[in-house]
Amino acid sequence: METNSRIMTDAPDRLRSLFGDPAWTWLRNRIRKALELDKELPSRFVRNNPTEAELRAARSLMGRSLQSPKSKSLSLPRDELLALLRTAGLCDSLRELVEIVDGPVHPRAALRREREAAWDALRQTWPHAPADPDPFFQGLRRLAGGDPESGTRLLADLDRLLRELRPEDQLPVHAAARIFGDSHALDRDRPVTRLLALHLNHPPGEFRSLWPRFGLTTDEVSSTVLIYGLRFAESHAAARAGTLLANAGIPHRMLLRHFRTQLRPVAPAVYVCENPAVLEAAAENGVRAALVCTEGQPSHACLKLLDACAAANLPLFLRADFDAAGLHIVNFLHRRYPSAGFWHFDPETYTAAPPGPSLEGDLPPTPWNPGLSTVMTADGHAVHEEQILARLLDVISH
């Protein structure tokens, strides 16, 4: 009893010692491949052009030569091999042989089914709606190398990015450092960045236009703000240049990068508009007021400048086009600068102006003046700043 127990305990080591020899690699591979493909094992394992080492190993195991005199191939009978293994107490099956020597056998069909089920589960549980689901999940597979576990980790990173990305980060490197602790995590060649583009169905390779969709800018020199008549208290180069241009009555741009150093604006008041035509008209007419143009939704450079104006306690007066986009701009700015006033952005100015094109889209509410959105909805037309330039300049010329 003790002897049989010792034999059974030693069997795996004996099996590894015998069949772990490189001379049996061909046989183990042949058995494993058949099992992985769910195929029946052949009645004979044939090895064409065997090496001398393989012939010696087979002859030593079976007690005779397995090579035909007329052929160079080695022919190993399956049932005879199995009977020998069982009699010696080494193992009960050829599957057991390869698993003891090389590790578990995973049938490929079953593995494929498991992987497909895992991919389906990821697709069903993904909480966000891709712009085009099929290309998105196909791209996810490619980026994950076909591995559902890698796909799960990638989706977790993308989910975190979609939930935590915010315009206040300004630059992708800032967002990457805050969200992932790695300032390069959102570089253009990183999988999560490529997956984000797939999620939005964004054109491949056009990463410079990807980040503005989240209110970010790709660098500190492409984000600019158009200003006129605004002076600065400091004496460094950026401040002196701005003041000189203001004194000369020349509109100009400042870069987001300029705000790395302190800039303290100086003006009796700052008038915010949406369209460059307002600044151009002010310059043409020699108006000396300080103006900041958002040029649509305000850039990070624009917000940096307006933040500096607010920090310096300069009175801000807001306005934009009388349309849905303009209301969104002013709503956003008024939430950010709640003490700001308004510059001819009221129902009276709207109704007194000549009607522009028909309004498109639903108008957002105007909580700072509920009557404005009500009147605009009722009248149904837009009024652009270019239509009331004379009235705007009249206010800031005095």
What are the φ and ψ backbone dihedral angles of 322, each rounded to 5 degrees?
Answer: -85, 80
Q: How many Å separate Cα 26 from the centre of its chain?
A: 46
d(CA 295, CA 318) in angstroms, rounded, equals 13
CB-facing half-sphere around the CA of 77: CA atoms within 13 A: 9
Q: How many Å separate Cα 200 from the centre of its chain?
A: 9
**Terminal-to-terminal C-alpha distance of the chain:** 112
Over residues 200-210, mean pLDDT: 84
d(CA 74, CA 51) in angstroms, rounded, equals 10
- Per-residue pLDDT of 341-372, as tens digits, reads 999 999 999 999 999 999 988 899 999 999 99
d(CA 63, CA 172) in angstroms, rounded, equals 71
Over residues 100-122, mean pLDDT: 86
Closest CA to 322 of 341, 295, 350, 348: 350
Q: Is-above-0.85 flag for pTM? A: no
* CATH 3.30.70.20 is held by the domain 224-396: no
Going by the DSSP 8-state scheme, the letter that residue 354 receives in this structure is P
Is the pLDDT score of 292 beyond 90? yes
Is the pLDDT score of 7 beyond 60? no
Assigned token pair, 2: 């003790």
